[in-house]
């Protein structure tokens, strides 16, 4: 039985029907807002390639989180930019490190209204800009794990609800899980950057976080863009090591990876709509070349449709404020 009996257009005939039939929804609580907090600055510093995003002071960080909470975004991923860097990235684990101070301050301000996720990596904290400690010009995986354990304990002690290791070291999830469990933090979750690709889409972030490697690149630890079966393996290994959630990153050029990981694991899947993806939308919108609101809606729906339950995005606050208007736009 087909045309003329079957007329798919019937279901598109008015807004109420379209709304009823829509398979994918987005709500503000699905969004995670990444925020940068920088030590030793008096004023927030705009990030050139990420219009609308800044490196926050501790004060402006709290104001921005409050504005996001008002529109329903309660989850935050925190990145710290320390005043000084060294070979070991000690700014990442000291008790009065910038992220630790930010965590304590946000917890004081918002209590359990805010879900605090701490990115755990070394690239913002090392003077060489790599995500681990070096042995010559190579990142030493297992020595880096010991440092990650120290960072995890310190972030948990400062109040992080969720630890999110992003360095792509082998065994990082297991190492962090065991430290958390032995330090009395069995209740803290791990969001693993499980399939993180070596991507040019991180360009603006490296300006934002001051984390570009001084030499070489990250292809020795981040994944090759041609691979999807390997992403499934990475995600499954992370779940076996104790990950409570797994992430695919970047999002838009990797929608098939999101789908594959969602189908082969049973934990919630996150996707990171990264800095370069944000920059492209903003650049085109500022030139008047695209309708930013409608493009953003399609991007977020697409990432959700691919299988991501949660989306990390610099658009989080703006998108959440706009979601009530999406029905009319659709
Ligand atoms: C740190 C880290 C990076 C991003 C998140 N955590 C950069 C990198 O790996 O170079 C990228 C985020 C973005 O581009 O928005 N390891």
Residue having the nearest C-alpha atom to atom 10 of ligand 1 = 202
**Could you tell me the distance, in angstroms and rounded to a whole number, from the CA of residue 111 to the centre of ligand 1?**
27
- Residue 327 scores a pLDDT above 80: no
Q: Is 199 in the pocket of ligand 1 (CB under 6 A)?
A: no
7 part of a folded domain: no
| Helix axes of 141-157 and 172-182: crossing angle, nearest 10 degrees | 40
Residues 43-66 pLDDT 10s: 999 999 999 999 999 999 999 999
How many independent structural domains does the chain possess?
A: 1
Does residue 18 lie within any of the structural domains?
no
Q: Which positions are catalytic?
A: 196, 249
166 lines ligand 1 (CB under 6 A): yes
Q: Cα separation of 90 and 289, whole Å? A: 44
Query: Can you give the pLDDT at residue 330?
Result: 62
Query: Closest residue (by CA) to atom 6 of ligand 1?
Result: 166
Indicate whether residue 278 lines ligand 1 (CB < 6 A). no
- Tens of pLDDT along 177-233? 999 999 999 999 999 999 999 999 999 999 888 888 989 999 999 999 999 999 999
DSSP three-state, residue 138: strand
CATH number, position 269: 3.20.20.70
The answer on pLDDT for 74 being more than 70 is yes
Helix (H, G, I), strand (E, B) or coil at 80: strand
Q: pLDDT, tens digit, for every residue of 250-300?
A: 999 999 999 999 999 999 999 999 999 999 999 999 999 999 999 999 999
Question: Does ligand 1 lie within 6 Å of residue 92's CB atom?
Answer: no
Residue 228 in domain: yes
Residue among 199, 202, 253 to mutate when testing ligand 1 (max atoms within 8 A of CB): 202
**Which ligand 1 atom is the nearest neighbour of the CA of 196?**
9
What atom in ligand 1 is closest to the CA of residue 314? 15
171/177 Cα distance (integer angstroms): 10
Per the domain annotation, does 10 fall within a domain?
Answer: no
What does the pLDDT look like over 75-130, one tens digit per residue? Answer: 999 999 999 999 999 999 999 999 999 999 999 999 999 999 999 999 999 999 99
Residue 188: both structure tokens together: 């803290």
Give the span between the Cα atoms of 67 and 264, in whole angstroms: 36
Q: Which atom of ligand 1 is nearest to the CA of 201?
A: 14
Is the pLDDT at 328 greater than 80? The verdict is: no
Centre of ligand 1 to C-alpha 135, Å, is: 22
CA of residue 249 to ligand 1 center, whole Å: 9
Q: Domain range for residue 38?
A: 24-329
Q: pLDDT tens-digit profile of 134-178? A: 999 999 999 999 999 999 999 999 999 999 999 999 999 999 999
Query: What's the confidence (pLDDT) of residue 329?
Result: 76
Does residue 102 belong to any structural domain of this protein?
yes
Contact call for residues 199 and 250 (beta carbons, < 8 A):
yes
Task: Give pairs for 133-141: CB < 8 Å, separation 24+.
Answer: 133/87, 133/88, 133/89, 134/87, 137/215, 137/216, 138/220, 139/169, 139/220, 139/221, 141/169, 141/170, 141/171, 141/221
- The tokens for 190 are 């791990």
16 found inside a domain: no
Is the pLDDT reported for residue 40 higher than 80?
A: yes
Q: Are strands 115-120 and 162-165 parallel, antiparallel or unpaired?
A: parallel
Residue 55 located in a structural domain: yes
202 lines ligand 1 (CB under 6 A): yes
The tokens for 102 are 């930010």
Find the 87 Cα to ligand 1 centroid distance in Å.
Answer: 19
What is the 3-class SS of 144-208, one letter each residue? HHHHHHHHHHHHHHCCCCEEEECCCCCCHHHHHHHHHHHCCCCCCEEEEEEEEECCHHHHHHHHH
Residue 170, exposed/middle/buried by CB under 10 A (0-12, 13-18, 19+)?
middle
Q: Name the residue with the closest Cα to ligand 1, atom 7.
A: 202
Q: What SS3 state is found at 4?
A: coil
- Answer yes or no: is 318 within a domain: yes
Pairing of strands 31-38, 310-313: parallel
């Amino acid at each position: 039985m087909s045309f003329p009996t079957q007329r798919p257009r019937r279901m598109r005939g008015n807004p109420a029907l379209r709304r009823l039939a829509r398979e994918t929804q987005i709500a503000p609580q699905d969004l995670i807002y990444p925020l940068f907090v920088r030590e030793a600055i008096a004023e927030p510093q705009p990030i050139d390639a990420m219009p609308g995003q800044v490196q926050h002071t501790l004060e402006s960080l709290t104001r921005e989180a409050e504005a996001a909470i008002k529109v329903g975004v309660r989850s935050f991923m925190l990145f710290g930019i320390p005043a000084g860097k060294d070979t070991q990235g000690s700014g990442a684990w000291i008790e009065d490190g910038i992220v630790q101070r930010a965590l304590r301050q946000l917890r004081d301000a918002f209590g359990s209204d805010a879900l605090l996720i701490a990115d755990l990596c070394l690239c913002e904290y090392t003077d060489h800009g790599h995500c681990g400690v070096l042995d010559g010009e190579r990142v030493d995986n297992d020595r880096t794990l010991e440092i990650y354990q120290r960072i995890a304990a310190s972030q948990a002690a400062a109040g992080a609800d969720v630890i999110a290791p992003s360095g792509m070291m082998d065994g990082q999830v297991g190492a962090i899980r065991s430290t958390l469990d032995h330090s009395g933090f069995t209740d803290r979750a791990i969001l693993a950057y499980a399939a993180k690709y070596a991507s040019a889409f991180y360009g603006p972030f490296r300006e934002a976080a001051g984390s570009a490697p001084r030499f070489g690149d990250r292809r020795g630890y981040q994944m090759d863009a041609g691979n999807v079966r390997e992403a499934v393996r990475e995600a499954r290994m992370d779940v076996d090591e104790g990950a409570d959630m797994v992430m695919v990153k970047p999002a838009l050029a990797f929608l098939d990876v999101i789908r594959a990981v969602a189908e082969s694991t049973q934990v919630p899947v996150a996707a990171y709509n990264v800095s370069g993806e944000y920059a492209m939308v903003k650049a085109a919108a500022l030139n008047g070349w695209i309708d930013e609101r409608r493009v953003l809606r399609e991007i977020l729906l697409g990432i959700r449709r691919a299988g991501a339950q949660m989306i990390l995005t610099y658009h989080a606050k703006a998108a959440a404020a706009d979601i009530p208007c999406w029905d009319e736009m659709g």
